């Protein structure tokens, strides 16, 4: 067994990684600083030297997850903004399917949005960055005429609400066939796109 003197110095990154693993395997409700300390072989006091409290720890986990989501978004290299929107929706939903408990953690912290007035101590910059990527595709689609909207922010929120809704439905334990889940995700996005491409009445 590794003695305390043989262990590498405890760092915030390692604490966040251990919390992420615990949440992924056992669920968000399983996370406590005491349980996490036991997994790391340290005292709870040692963890408090690196995180202020449980919320600060969850914030660190959410930062890692949003960074991974942004990386997924950035792997979409198509110049077509509408196809980027589709790819972003797929990446978002696939993440929720792959890591449902970590997906829950991400949305404990909001992005900063225009007109939303989210306090600085609540806003998560990594969430803002992810929203910015999604908004960028919508803005480009609107600028090219592929989407008919005079408010790209509102359109981005509509697509986010729809995509998040699909992700949430797929976490209800319906045990739908994977092919039907894929069709549901594509259908929601395609219907919205069709609506935004229709001439205004």
Query: Which domains, from first to last, does the chain contain?
Result: 4-48 (1.10.10), 59-197 (1.10.357.10)
Spatial distance between the Cα atoms of 16 and 61, rounded to a whole number of angstroms: 6
Q: Find the mean pLDDT for residues 159-182.
A: 94
pLDDT at position 121: 74
The string over 172-181, giving b where at least 16 C-beta atoms fall within 10 Å of a residue's C-beta and e elsewhere, is eeeeeeeeeb
H helices present in the chain, as ranges: 12-26, 33-40, 44-48, 54-74, 81-98, 100-106, 125-144, 152-169, 178-197
pLDDT at position 15: 96
pLDDT at position 114: 76
3-state SS assignment for residue 147 = coil
**Residue 9's pLDDT band (cuts 50, 70, 90):** confident
Of 116, 100, 89, give the one whose Cα is nearest residue 185: 89
> pTM to 2 decimals?
0.89
Percent residues over pLDDT 90 in the chain: 82
pLDDT at position 6: 59
Phi–psi pair at 75, nearest 5 degrees: -75, -10
The tokens for 51 are 């995180």
Q: Find the mean pLDDT for residues 73-102.
A: 94
Q: Find the mean pLDDT for residues 39-56.
A: 93
pLDDT at position 201: 38
What's the mean pLDDT when you consider all of the chain?
91
Opening angle at CA 161, ends 199 and 149, nearest 5: 25
Residues 6+ apart with CB under 8 A from 169: 184
Q: What is the pLDDT of residues 59-73, one digit of tens each?
A: 999 999 999 999 999
Residues 6+ apart with CB under 8 A from 105: 23, 28, 58, 61, 62, 65
Residue 88 has pLDDT above 50, yes or no: yes
Residue 12 has pLDDT above 80, yes or no: yes
């Amino acid at each position: 067994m590794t003695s305390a003197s043989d262990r590498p110095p405890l760092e915030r990154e390692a604490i966040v990684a251990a919390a992420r693993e615990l949440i992924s395997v056992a669920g968000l409700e399983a996370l406590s600083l005491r349980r996490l300390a036991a997994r790391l072989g340290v005292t709870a006091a040692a963890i408090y030297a690196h995180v202020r409290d449980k919320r600060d720890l969850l914030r660190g986990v959410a930062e890692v997850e949003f960074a991974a989501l942004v990386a997924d978004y950035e792997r979409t290299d198509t110049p077509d903004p509408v196809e980027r929107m589709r790819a972003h929706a797929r990446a978002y939903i696939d993440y929720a399917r792959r890591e449902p408990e970590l997906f829950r953690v991400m949305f404990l912290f909001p992005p900063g949005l225009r007109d939303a007035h989210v306090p600085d101590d609540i806003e998560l910059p990594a969430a803002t960055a992810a929203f910015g990527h999604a908004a960028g595709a919508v803005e480009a689609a609107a600028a090219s005429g592929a989407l008919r909207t005079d408010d790209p922010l509102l359109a981005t929120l509509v697509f986010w609400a729809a995509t998040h809704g699909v992700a949430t439905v797929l976490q209800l334990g319906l045990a739908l066939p994977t092919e039907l889940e894929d069709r549901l995700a594509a259908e929601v996005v395609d219907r919205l796109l069709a609506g935004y491409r229709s001439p205004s009445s």
